Chains A and B, each alone.
Chain A
Amino acid sequence: MKIKTILFLSILSILTAQVGPVKALHRNPPRAWALTNAAIHVAPGKTIENGMVVMWDGMIKSVGENVKIPDQATIIDLEGKHIYAGFIESWLDVSTMKKDTSLRAHWNSNMRAYLNAVDLFHPDKKDIKELRSLGFTTAHITPKGGIFQGNSGLVQLGETPKVLSGKIAQIIEYASGSWGSPEYPTSLLGAIAFIRQGFYDAGWYGKSIEILNKYPDGNEPIQANQSLETLFSEKNNKQPFVFRTSNEIYIDRSKNIADEFELNLWIKGNGYEYRRLNEMPASFMIIPLNFPGKPKVVDPHNALQYSTQQLKHWDMAPDNAAKLSDAGFQFALTSSDLEKKKDFRNNLARSIHRGLNEADALASLTTTPAKAFGQSRRLGKVAPGFIANLVITDGNYFDGKSTVKAVWIDGNEYEVEPDPLVSVAGQWTLKESGNEWALNLNKSPKGFGGKISIDEHSFKLKTVKIEQDRITFSVDADTILHKGNTRFTGTIREGKASGQVFYADGNTANWSALLDSTRVKKKNDGKKEIASDLEVVFPDGAYGLDEDVPSPKTILINDATIWTSGEKGVLREYDILIQDGKVKKIDRNISLPRGNALIIDGTGKHVTPGLIDAHSHMAGESINEGFQNVTAEVRMRDVIEPNDVAMYRALAGGLTTINLLHGSANPIGGQNVVMKLRWGSFSDDLIFKPAPQGIKFALGENVKRVRSYGRYPETRMGVEQVIRDAFMAARDYKKSWDIYNKDVKLKRSAIPPRRDLELDAMVEIMEGKRLVHSHSYRQDEILMLTRIAEDYGFTMATFQHVLEGYKVAERLAEHGAGASTFSDWWAYKYEVVDAIPYNGTLMTNAGVTVSFNSDSDELARRMNLEAAKAVKYGGLDEAEALKMVTINPAKQLKIDRYVGSLEVGKDADFTIWSGHPLSSYTICEQTWIEGKQYFSLEQDQYFRQRDAKLRNDLIQKILSSPDHGDKPMKPEGRRGNRFESCDALEAYTMEGGK
């Protein structure tokens, strides 16, 4: 831009002059400016093609096509330039301290809610400069570290950042250490429980402080806690809570938490929002533009390592913003997650090519965040009364090719890439000692370069240096100049240059040059990027559903062998009628009144109830919160991973219901969730809602194993005591609540008991509302736990694994516990040295309800063959053997009213087999849940063909696409085939401890 008045503006002094004393002399440079002749984008969708902006003392005074310029204002002519409102960087992380030794600190260092980003913001000047070069004038700064991370703030990105707001939102991250970390939580499970407990604690703390203030007498003071105090007031003030998320599932989890605590929810997004657009909350979102780089697929074998969902994500990620915008979401865009911030503009341009509306894009950088951050009357528009934050570009900002020339912050100019003093680049004609040369000078990011030519000879210039208006360069043009290295030096002024040339022999002469043309850079546009033509499937990637599973009203299976797992036993050549997802009738030759049923010919086929696995870890993103010996507060339902392909593979083996259990790292683990494998559904819809709540316990080697950080217990003696202790604490807890709740005076004037999620779960066990499933091996510990249960007035639902159950089967039967065992595992650890495959049969014969479980994503695919082992080992009747994987696990999970057998009125969960379900040669052909087909060989063929073509097309597209410079996507590797059992996981931990 042409600056008419050259100023040496000392921005620093202006900003600090507000309260601080003056050093040396007062400095009061003028701050009245009029920017004229520019295209002014006053607000999203509103542009003044040729207008002016008047600023005065950091504020915009007037904007318009022809506004009166006050006399004192200095005019800057911005012909050909564009003016935008200063952009808001909606996410800029500020790292916070780890240790807090304050007396008011929380017991856990992950709780730092009281911190304020504005107190801890010590930015690198280089980083701020980089943000300004992208057009950002203001930033939402967000504390990072821990789980409750503290308050974000809003700052101006001037030389000395100025705080516009010290308190915007509380930032929350699902952060946890991993195995062996020295502090709780060590898993996603624990992190979510920590967040929930944190909110309950804040509520309790706030209430307690109120009571203490009101009734200081007779109430014991509580420990001050700065974070809980902050959280309490923030929640009451409806201040936003922003959850950092890493994919669409985390957004859903955040929504659940926000619903539970009625939070004003904001989302720090992740780029995967498009995958479950319909499930996304209507909250303000801050969306990053970090697109995956090209997968490395040139090597076909390397290409194999990318999952189909990864390849799709490469293609679809740049559509995310456009899709969010089309669906009407309110979002801001941020450069925060980009590896290289300078890619932001390119990625923004790509988003626009792929359909993001420019006005929406502008809103996402200006008015939308301004509104969310409570600054809609100060930031985001070029309008009178707004802070004088402006972006000056030499073209449309959103085409990615224009240059940001300067930004204005608080009415002060920050040059980004000012026009040069003189024009240098272009075609010149240079004269020297009677020679006439063509001189070509051009500019690249590295600096100036060029060549000099005469006739057909051409020489590259060496070390071209331009300083202000002075130019020097040298050239090795021996053959023409006959004089070795020749050096030129001179001055440029308005298209003319002249100076001296120094030849190799020491002689000098004059040279002069004329600028013939300013070369226009030709950028090769290439093909304009367009939106992906792919559709999202559910879950995205291979085997995802294109549409909802059809739900036929009436289904009739004819002439099949029906294994009812009920009183009717095995029925040969029978029909089964399904209506509205329930079993309506089982009989010979059922005839239908109306002809619109789906008819399945069952001739030669066997139909069994959908198989049930009472011990599974599939579709669990996190399995163990093992740091503490009791973690009854954590819930598997919080960590469901609806994209886990293990569910589809299990359906292909006839499995329909699983008990997703916490791992076996601690005596009292987390709460389980019973799920139906409704493939394609999002997390909550996988849950089998009528199933009673439960919890996992664990005994023996896994829990007593010595931990590096030192954890009680280390013997089976200690395990018993830990469990008793937990129940005792729960009994005391319940007592204190009972006393409190009954006494009106107490409720008014006493500090209430603190709600404890861990103890809540323990109380529910004692009240019979929560089923206990305990990992166990040896007879001593099995017996021990039945005694504890009886002492505390509940009945164990199941012993899991229970490989020595056969030694105390009469006790299990007497107590009434089910046994969910491995068919034939043994010898993998010392406590299974006496495990025998006759366990199931022996316990069954002693009157115990026995099921076979998998504890393995692999084994879960062939539970019918596990049942066959009960026939082999101990000679159980075949129909009884099948019950080990149908009605018996249903009974153990207390869901036998709904599933587990084919009887009238029950859920139509069934599997159609090619032959005898206990035969090794039989395969599963169809799997149905509630009258909907979730697997069939036919549908599977369709998926295979669809996905093979999709992969091929995508790889071709990747190969023929330009490289955008993003870091190549890394293959997922074996993700999806994760730990197969508690024991595999434990074995790993053991290695880790070495």
Chain B
Amino acid sequence: MKKTLFMIIISTFISANDQIPGPPQSHPILLKNGVIHTISNGVIQGSILFDNGKITHVGEFIAPQVGTEVIDLEGKHVYPGFIAAVSGIGLVEINAVDVTNDHSERGNFNPNVRANVAYNPDSEIIPTTRSNGVLVANVVPASGLVSGQSSIMMMDGWTWENATLSHPSGLHINWPQMGTRARGRFGRSVPIKNQIERRNKSLKALDDIMKESRAYARLRQTKSRSAENYHNEDLRLESMIPYVQGKLPIYVHANEVRQIEAAVHWSKRQDVNIIIVGGKDAWRTTNLLRKNKVPVIYESVTALPNRRYEDYDQAYKGPALLHEAGVQFCIATAGSAGAAYQLRNLPNQAAMAAAYGLPKNEALRSITLSAAEILGIDKQVGSLESGKDATLFISNGDALEIRTNVLQAYIQGRKVDMGDRHKMLFHKYQEKYRQLDILK
């Protein structure tokens, strides 16, 4: 990458040990002579200009103003930052060390808890993730029946407040298991009767929550003294109001076809907006999803088939099947907190879908604009268009290919420190072997 300075700027090339959040964009930056993957407007051999954190121009040729930092990409690629539609990133450091986990609050009904307040901007996982171009993540709580509210975070910032792009992004429900199992994981078995009882209890609980929340919402909106005097406040029910009113989406985590169908019918009955998360079986019920305009966040393309007899590539081709059936979808990695460290492989998930039938441009869209649309942040991110956030990165090739590397990222125009714990240790031990004369 050749860099021309129209004004004097001190740039650091070597990543620091502690990754320092970038300062606000202080001058316009023009990336020229690149392959610009706009997503919304095809691929352009040309330039992109951004200023004050926003993209101001995308085109084949853009003339720089004075004071613009011009970077000649020499044919390198520019992409909008990849978007993780669900992830536990920032809420977990070491999965097996309990005290580093902040994703699962106690209890079954936690609509009031919010992800961003527990998001650790100094998590070591974050820099390793953005090193692969994932710059925005919808961070979700995980436990119980109603897990809490998710927040859309940028993968850079001094505090969680700096890093929050949007909050709340939605409420998360883990749909109860609808089937029964002879044996669960590791051969443990729960009597069928108990399984059915538990399911019915959970389904009833969900309906009860909605009923109570609606009643609470009515109470809170009634502007009479008697109503105000009559009732005390309730943190949980208060947080449910925008959801029962259909103002914000409810993310229903559901993989099995019966769960998905039950969730869709429930959403109609309750008149709420839902997004299916997981969606492994979504391909079995595409008509219902399309007819009811329920989007799917398809988790884990690289997963085993759900059932022994299913096609070996069933999970790989899931996105292609949804695409062909006209279901709105995007691709995510496993959203469980334990898988947060694997979020950096989000582009591989999209590529795998492309290898098994999803058109390449749709694969790319599935982790950029499609994700932004489902999360409701497509006015800000997801494509390279003027007016949107300058949240983008430069790579040395097709960013869905594993062998490609991200060279530089910008989040709202702020230059991202591309160092991470892994590069740091890599350099440290390269030095060891240089000292031992094993490496030149």
Residues on A facing B (Cβ under 8 Å): 178-179, 301-302, 304-305, 307-309, 541-543, 645-646, 648-649, 652, 701, 806-807, 809-810, 824-830, 833-834, 836-838, 842, 845-847, 857-859, 861-862, 865, 868-869, 871-874, 878, 918-923, 940, 944, 947, 951, 970-979, 985, 987-988, 990
Contacts and interface: CB of A to CB of B under 8 A. Distances in A.
7 contacts: A307-B309, A649-B305, A809-B433, A828-B96, A944-B311, A951-B309, A990-B96
A858 B333 CA distance: 14
Contacts of B438: 809-810, 845-847
B79 interface: no
A988 B187 CA distance: 12
Contacts of A649: 304-305, 312
A629 to B, nearest CB: 21
A838 B433 contact: no
A216 B169 CA distance: 85
Contacts of A985: 186
Contact of A652 (B95, B313, B351, B405): B313
Nearest to A828: B95
B307 interface: yes
A865 B402 contact: yes
B355 A920 contact: yes
Nearest to B303: A858
A978 B188 CA distance: 12
Interface of B: 93-97, 124-125, 179-187, 192, 257-258, 261, 302-309, 311-313, 338, 340-342, 344-345, 348, 351-352, 354-356, 360, 400-405, 421-423, 425-426, 429-430, 432-433, 436, 438-439
B309 A947 contact: yes
Given A827-B341, A872-B405, 18 more contacts: A308-B308, A308-B309, A807-B429, A810-B436, A825-B341, A829-B95, A829-B97, A845-B438, A858-B302, A865-B348, A868-B401, A878-B403, A919-B403, A947-B309, A971-B180, A973-B183, A979-B185, A987-B96
Given A301-B258, A862-B302, A975 B309 contact: no
A868 B403 contact: yes
Top 3 nearest A-B pairs (CB, nearest first) are: A920-B351, A542-B309, A829-B96
A868 B405 CA distance: 12
A868 B402 contact: yes
A645 B308 contact: yes
B354 A827 contact: no
Given A827-B125, A846-B439, A970-B182, A923 B355 contact: yes
A814 to B, nearest CB: 11
B402 A918 contact: yes
B439 A824 contact: no
B143 to A, nearest CB: 14
A836 B308 contact: no
Contacts of A543: 309
A299 to B, nearest CB: 9
B308 A830 contact: no
Contact of A974 (B181, B261, B311, B429): B181
A828 B338 contact: yes
Given A837-B422, A920-B402, A973-B182, A648 B309 contact: no
B309 A845 contact: no
A827 B257 CA distance: 32
A646 B360 CA distance: 28
A842 B402 contact: no
A836 B94 contact: no
A973 B181 contact: yes
Given A304-B257, A824-B345, A921-B355, A652 B179 contact: no
Contacts of B423: 838
A973 B256 CA distance: 12
Given A304-B257, A990-B96, A872 B403 contact: yes
B307 A305 contact: yes
Q: Give the most central of B94, B258, B403, B433: most A CB within 10 Å.
A: B403
B156 to A, nearest CB: 19
A971 B304 contact: no
A428 B95 CA distance: 81
Contacts of A944: 311
Nearest to B100: A830
A847 B436 CA distance: 13
Nearest to A875: B405
Contacts of B184: 973-974
A971 B356 CA distance: 29
A200 to B, nearest CB: 30
A994 to B, nearest CB: 10
B183 A872 contact: no
A970 B189 CA distance: 12
Contacts of B303: 858
A829 B97 CA distance: 6
Contacts of B97: 829-830
Nearest to B440: A845
A862 B422 CA distance: 23
B351 to A, nearest CB: 3
Contacts of B405: 872
Contacts of A806: 425-426, 429
Nearest to B428: A807
A309 B309 CA distance: 9
A973 B181 CA distance: 5
A829 B311 contact: no
B312 A975 contact: no
A121 B309 CA distance: 45
Contacts of B403: 868, 871-872, 878, 918-919
B124 to A, nearest CB: 8
B422 A838 contact: yes
Contact of B179 (A305, A826, A921): A305
A825 B96 CA distance: 14
Contacts of A978: 186
A701 B338 CA distance: 17
A979 B186 contact: yes
A806 B186 CA distance: 34
A842 B344 CA distance: 20
A921 B96 contact: no
B120 to A, nearest CB: 13
Contacts of A940: 311-312
Contacts of B342: 825
Contacts of A842: 426, 429-430, 433
A301 B94 contact: no
Nearest to A179: B186
Nearest to B439: A845
A301 B192 CA distance: 17
Contacts of B125: 827
Contacts of B430: 842
Given A304-B307, A305-B307, A542-B309, A872 B360 contact: no
Nearest to A980: B304
Contacts of B433: 809-810, 842, 845-846
A541 B308 contact: yes
Given A846-B433, A858-B303, A918-B403, A827 B426 contact: no
A836 B426 contact: yes
Nearest to A838: B426
Contact of B360 (A304, A829, A838, A921): A921
B94 A833 contact: yes
Contacts of B124: 827
A987 B93 CA distance: 16
Contacts of A872: 402-405
Given A838-B422, A974-B181, A857 B94 contact: no
Given A842-B433, A988-B186, A830 B94 contact: yes
Contact of A836 (B338, B404, B425): B425
Contacts of A645: 308
A901 to B, nearest CB: 22
A952 B67 CA distance: 70
A817 to B, nearest CB: 16
A810 B192 CA distance: 56
Given A828-B341, A836-B426, A920 B185 contact: no
